[in-house]
Structure formats: C-alpha cells, structure tokens
Structure 1
C-alpha cells in the first residue's frame, strides 16, 4: 500500500498482499508502465479470478474510479486486460487475458516486424552508405533477429506448457 494511505481495518488484502501489489507495480513502473496501470495490473494479478470491477479496484488500491478507468484503458490498448459485462448487470469487470504474457509477446512480435519494415524504408530514404542508413540497417537487422528468436521462444514456451499440463490458450 502506498504511504499516503494509512492501513486500516477495512483493507481488503492482508498486509503482505498489499505490499506485494505495490512491489510488483514498482517493478512494472521501472519497466515503463504507467503508474496507475501498473498498480491495476498488479491488483488484478493477485485476484483469485483475475478479474475485478472498477469499484473493487478503486477500493483495493484506494484510488478514484477515474484513475481505474484511465489505467484500464491503457492496459486494454496494450492487450493486457479486457472488459466484460457482469451477467445480469450493467457493471463491467476488468479481466486479465488468459496467458497474458504469451499473448502480449505475440502482439510485440507484430511490432517487431513493423519496426523492421519501417527501419528498412528509412535506409532507402537516407541512403545505405550514410551513418543514419547504417544505424537504421542495424536497427532493422536487430528487429528481424528478435522476431526470429521470439518465434522460437514462443514455440518452446507453448511446448513446455503443453508438457506440464497447462496448454497455452489463445484469446480471440
């Protein structure tokens, strides 16, 4: 829990869980996540179903519904969560995607290919013999390398999960 919100009897989490959520969020923040999105993602990660309503997230994290909304919008844009309606209700629940990291890395593979293509187009624009052209060519080659390696990594992860009895489920 953040230091600006003292702990009280109404906390929905045991102290160790709250501390873990904040630690995980800090790690995500250090990796480039937005602060509230990191906290919401970490909170969803420790929830039993991997899904909570806006009010549950706001209560657990002691943030405003507007902060939850902005964080969820960001997390949905980067394919980490989805919105779903609660059956028989107008309330939405925010759910972590099944196999969230596998799906996220699959999306990143598409970006790698796009960045490679764009960098190669840049080489054509600035000239292959220029310093900028050589830099862009190295960028394109690196993105191609990452894409090739990522494909193998994803295949190995899928095989590993299948062997362990936890096959990777793809989101629609």
Structure 2
C-alpha cells in the first residue's frame, strides 16, 4: 500500500513554498509569513511546531516566531499547546481560512473604521481628501459585505471543482 509520502516530491514542495512566498510578497504580504503559510499548507500533518517549520524552511525557530505571530493576528493560523511540552503547534483553521480569515476577523470593517477617522480628521465634506476617504471607507464596507456572500456561496458549492 502506498502512502502520501511515496507520492511527495520534496524538491517540488520546497519550490511551491518559495513560489507562493514570492507571489504573496509581491502582493505586499510578509515573505517569511508566506513561507510559513506555504509549509503549513503543504504539510501532511495537522500542525507543526516552530522547530519543525524552521527545519523545513532551513531557518531557526526564532525566525519563525514573528511570522507565526503575524499569521495568528490575521486569522490564517491557529496556535495550540503541545501536551507535555513547552512547544506550540501551529495549524491552519479547519474552515475556509483563506476567505474566512479576512471576513470573520472583520479586517475590512476595521480598515473602514480607521478610514472613517480620516474622514472626520479632514473635516471638509466637500474636499478632495474627504471624497477619497469616503470612497475608500465605502469600498471596504462593501467588500466586507460581499465577502460574507462569497463565503456563503463557497460553502454552498464546496466539493464542486471549478477546474
């Protein structure tokens, strides 16, 4: 009987992780966080310790520390203690983390709230700055609402391949 490990190409997995990290970094994402995310996505295990992540990336557990803090903050990674150990296990949430992370955390709403501060700060409702800021605020409120609908549609059609 073959196992998943029999079918894995470690070099191809490493290249995937680095390609994902480069792509995410080009979009403004923290590169080490993207590398950690790639390792967790490609891991057969339910989760990995900082030491295991570091080993797969060829970096120290300390280098992994800031990246996992960032990923936890964004809702893309969860942390749980390893029983009888001082280590923590880092894993992807069980739900559709790539959509749910941003939607459930209220990230878009938070951005809109911050931009509202800018609207209030510039004061003049007729100014170019106020117009730009209101437009930005409204866009992020719109995205927050739309993403809720996208998440519902995704969950309703889950299991159906789009390729």
TM range (shorter): 0.7 to 0.9
1:70 aligns with 2:66: yes
Give the secondary-structure state (helix, strand or coil) at the position aligned to 1:83: strand
Equivalent residue number for residue 140 of structure 1: 137
Give the secondary-structure state (helix, strand or coil) at the position aligned to 1:80: coil
Q: Which aligned pairs between 1:73-88 and structure 2 lie closer than 5 A?
A: 73-88=69-84
Number of aligned residue pairs: 151
Deviation string 1:68-125 (CA, Å, 9 cap, x unpaired) is 11211111111111222223333221111122213213245x2322333443454344
Does the Cα contact within 8 Å between 1:128 and 1:137 map onto a contact in 2?
no
Relative to the length of structure 1, the TM-score reads 0.76
* Cα gap change, 1:130 to 1:67, in 2 (>3 Å): same
List runs of 5+ in structure 2 lacking aligned partners: 1-8
Q: Which aligned pairs between 1:85-164 and structure 2 lie closer than 5 A?
A: 85-99=81-95, 100-107=97-104, 110-125=106-121, 126-161=123-158, 164=159
What is the aligned-residue RMSD (CA, Å)?
2.3
More helix by share: 2
Deviation at 1:138, TM superposition (A): 1.4
* CA distance in structure 1 between the aligned counterparts of 2:148 and 2:131, rounded to whole angstroms: 26
Relative to the length of structure 2, the TM-score reads 0.80
* CA distance in structure 1 between the aligned counterparts of 2:77 and 2:127, rounded to whole angstroms: 43
List runs of 5+ in structure 1 lacking aligned partners: 1-12, 166-172
| Structure 1 runs, 4 residues or longer, greater than 6 Å off | none
Does the Cα contact within 8 Å between 2:25 and 2:31 map onto a contact in 1?
yes
